Copies of this chain bind each other. A is one copy, B any other.
Amino acid sequence: MNDIKKYIEDNREKFLDELGELCRIPSRSGNTGALHEAAEWIARALSALGAEARIFEIPEGAPIVYGELGEGPRTLLVYNHYDVQPPEPLELWNTEPFSPKVLDGRFYCRGASDNKGNLMARLHAVRACVETMGSSPLKVKFLVEGEEETSSKHLAGFVRQHKDLLRADGCLWEGSWKDSQGRHILTCGLKGHCYVELRVRGARHDLHSSYAGIVPNPAWRLVWALGTLMDARSRITIRGWLKERRGLDEADERALKRVVFDAEGFRELHGFREFIRGMSEGELVREFLYAPTCTICGLRAGYTGDGPKTVLPSEAIAKLDFRLVPDMTPEKLLAYLRRHLDECGFKDVAIHPLGGIMPARTDCEDRIVGAALAAVREVCGREPILYPVAPWSGPLNDVCGVLNIPSVSFGVGHADSHDHAPNENIMVSDYGEGIQCMAAFMRIYARA
């Protein structure tokens, strides 16, 4: 064990350089060339570990990388992804988004936390095992996809088609974060989501705004339509939608009570004045982990440059992200939303679906969860936090649902990692610690 620890410490610089190599590949969704380049880079890295690595080409999708190595009493499936969110708005980055840079103990790059940093920490932990003990303590199967940020369209089909290949006792999911007080957050289930663009058209072209008294303005139509979806207390008001939500059972309520959330630290870190509805800490956790959401991720209409321009826009667009909890599904959301808008008089508001993903719950009492808690405790000397369900989303149902295996997640991010936002980063020290946690987890889970 001490050998491994020393090996990881001795190789920290090198590991970080290798992470930098992968982060340099601008594998944002849509960049086909870079997505392939990243997939090949990862397959080579897996082969270098001694794994049998394969690249599965996905027609009209990004390749899936699979790699398998080691033997042992247990088989662990590791899920990660190599695609990243677009880096825009570029002007808010303090560094180049695809040029990794270490500043003040942080490693900055798009993908540093979500999700290349988590993937590489796991690879480096396996390498540490192989180099110091000759082999991995268990069989590890890496499943690395490139469509996570665009709703993993082809993953469920792939998993169904390769059930035997992917068979495992449990799954180490994508990754996770520390909270604002530095406590590791471990997660089991995930929320689902459904992303749509609402579009409204007015005149054929932009008009002078002096016509505003008589010509319909799509920006107003959009504002009024949006106003029917959520009230000013941030309560979703889509007719009937909340009835789809499964209530919390006793196990949920028990798990919820154990969750700690540093509300004040979180608020200060992100610099906003107060939480929605001035919620108490208990209410916040319940809302954060168990409530569906309806988020305006983007608004665009007419003139958005500096200064005034007196124009009547011809088009208005809103990008909306809905987080889903059991038993909500993307398909149901689309149907409720269409019916609601129609009933409210907004048949002219078009809904363009941009991807959806099912919510998923996994068993929080499984030995894989216990092994993860023990590993993080051992490495950090501090009690981690367990989210029975995490508020973010991922294709957990497509993997662990299809394979019917339990899941847990821990990783190298921190509360200020800026996932999906400018200046994404991880702490250099967290990266080494994350590798240690993974190595300890492999050892403990192998015997659990």
Contacts and interface: CB of A to CB of B under 8 A. Distances in A.
A342 to B, nearest CB: 14
Contact of A206 (B208, B309, B421): B421
B287 A213 contact: yes
A345 B288 CA distance: 25
B298 A301 contact: yes
B297 A309 contact: yes
A300 B207 CA distance: 19
Contacts of A279: 214
Interface residues of A, number: 91
A274 B195 contact: no
A308 B210 contact: no
Interface string A36-47: 000000000000
Interface in A283-319: 284, 287-288, 291, 293-313, 316-317, 319
Interface in A148-174: 149-151
Interface string A337-369: 000000001001000001100000000000000
User: Which of the listed residues A205, A317, A393 has the most CB atoms from chain B within 10 Å of its own CB?
Assistant: A205
A234 interface: yes
Contact of A209 (B224, B284, B297, B423): B297
Nearest to A290: B213
User: Which of the listed residues A151, A216, A345 has the most CB atoms from chain B within 10 Å of its own CB?
Assistant: A216
Contacts of A309: 85-86, 88, 297-298, 319, 420
A223 interface: yes
Nearest to A271: B204
A230 B217 CA distance: 12
A220 B149 CA distance: 24
Interface string A56-87: 00000000000000000000000000000110
A219 interface: yes
Contacts of A204: 270-272
A232 interface: yes
A208 B392 CA distance: 8
Nearest to A151: B308
Closest 9 CB pairs of A and B: A204-B271, A219-B296, A210-B392, A212-B295, A300-B304, A298-B302, A299-B301, A195-B308, A206-B421
